[in-house]
Amino acid sequence: MSSTKIKILPENISSKIAAGEVVERPYSVVKELCENSIDAGASDIFISIKNGGITLINVTDNGCGMDATDIENAFLRHSTSKLTSVYDFDTIKTMGFRGEALASIASVSRIKIKSKRPQDETGNFLELEAGKLIAKGPASCNDGTSIFVESLFFNTPARYKFLKKDFTEASYIADILERIVLSRPDISVCFVNDGKEMIHSPGNNDLKSAIYSVYGKSITDFIIPLQHENENIKVFSEKIELDSKKKIKARKEGSEIAFGLGAFGIVGWSISI
């Protein structure tokens, strides 16, 4: 009888462990899918959730789309369009590159996806359950990609048990989407929670409009633009300039920050008001 103790885990176990590292809760799924949309060159991203993203997460974009081969390869672990050699690590400009997100999400959910490239006459679809391919084929769809993630953690009850109430999970998703809106005012982001539109930014590349979409008129009316650049860095931001009557309200709303546009996220810092 062999005394070997170290064994290679089967795929169904290792994939769930990897999913736990990437997919902590519904907001992790939304974050990964929206970053994929951004990397695909999307100018419009639509996000819809039900029950805090546990029952359903839909992310639809107008990005570059995928052909039949790419849409299937996208769900293989460590498959990516971002790297071709070790030297690419020095020049990565995308939101992600490891090629783990879709495979991890698929392993703990049921997925339906349609995608079409602008140069193709028809698109393609896939259906997966717990990472296993259920169906695939041609599909009629718009340019870009639309992915539906259903029944998140249906096969990992231990992770499902630690999810919070729907309202709380939805608030986490809203927070990450607000950050995307503020950091990418050139992209229109629409967020619908249980049928109600919560966020809708115009995507007109105007930071003030993006701030209005998130914080509303009461804050936007009191911001002033700031700008600085040198040889390597360019920063555009909006500073909140409030009179004494607005200070208390702004502090309660968490508005003691400056909003900035950075390459990979919001440039924020404390200010005195």
pLDDT digits (tens, 9 = 90+) for 208-248: 899 899 988 888 887 777 777 777 666 665 555 554 444 43
Q: What is the pLDDT of residues 254-266, one digit of tens each?
A: 444 444 444 333 3
Distance CA 236, CA 185 (A): 11
Q: What percent of the chain has pLDDT over 90?
A: 54
Q: What is the DSSP letter of 150?
A: E
pLDDT at 128: 97
pLDDT at 144 over 50: yes
The reported pTM is 0.77
Q: Among 72-86, 126-140, 188-202, whose mean pLDDT is lowest? A: 72-86
Q: Over the chain, what is the mean pLDDT?
A: 79
**192-205 burial, b for 16+ CB within 10 Å, e for fewer?**
bbeeeebbebebee
User: Cα-Cα-Cα-Cα dihedral of 15, 18, 23, 24, to 10°?
Assistant: 120
Other beta carbons within 10 Å of 260 = 21
